[in-house]
Chain A
Amino acid sequence: DIQMTQSPSTLSASIGDRITITCRASQRISDWLAWYQQKPGKAPKLLIYKTFNLQGGVPSRFSGSGSGTEFTLTISSLQPDDFVTYYCQQYHDFPLTFGGGTKVEIK
């Protein structure tokens, strides 16, 4: 199985900060990597698919990059609505797997 390791697990930042979340795969997954945002008590929401493609309606302050085994999600200027939890997910091979999540907190 492909293991997805996200870091950090918690990130403290301020409104307007630029942050980066990293996701490492235990083996090469090409660019089959998605990012999801989850607000408390809500279903996840697809932010980015195939490493860097923004899902419709997602603000341009979100961006993704990477290839192979290392990937990043960047938020260029944190907004109040962004202080929630983010997950990466590989869909290169079954079983599909998620990272452990990164909770973005207000500093």
Chain B
Amino acid sequence: EVQLLESGGGLVQPGGSLRLSCEASGLIFSNYDMIWVRQAPGKGLEWVSRIDTVFNTHYGDSVRGRFTISRDNSKNTLYLQMNSLGVEDTATYYCAKVNSATRGFDQWGQGTLVTVSS
């Protein structure tokens, strides 16, 4: 059974940094593109970033230049380094696996909450 477990969320002051992790199990992690999606409280889904199997990366407009996605295949772990955080980054952050054939996001973690507040 595929499991994705996010961690690293919490309270951070505006301008601060945080690194999220997403540990994967039950799959050959290196074989899959991975993504981060976030959801502000009471709001819709926002795609944040994607990293493919050869480490190419893409970012949403609102985070480009501040967030960095990475992966460590030896640890089956996906990361999201978040810098220069603002209150608008307050959200639950989900990691998800991209299905290689369909390109849909077919497995999701439970999410980790990031709160940016002074």
Report the bound CA distance from A60 to B38 in whole Å.
29
Closest to A102 in B: B44
Across the interface, B47 reaches (CB within 8 A) one of A46, A49, A96, namely A96
Q: 1/0 per residue B82-96: CB within 8 Å of A?
A: 000000000000101
Count of A-B contacts with CB under 8 A? 63
- Contact status of A46 and B106, CB under 8 A, knowing A94-B58, A95-B61: yes
Classify the secondary structure of B's interface with A.
Answer: strand
How far does the Cβ of B42 sit from chain A's closest Cβ, in whole Å? 11
For residue A38, which residues in chain B have a CB less than 8 angstroms away from its CB? Answer: 45
Q: How far is the CA of A92 from the CA of B103 in the complex (A)?
A: 10
Residues of A within 8 A of B110 (CB): 43
In the assembly, what is the distance between CA of A72 and CA of B98, in Å?
22
Pairs A–B under 8 Å by Cβ, sample size 8:
A1-B61, A49-B104, A53-B102, A55-B106, A89-B47, A95-B47, A96-B60, A98-B45
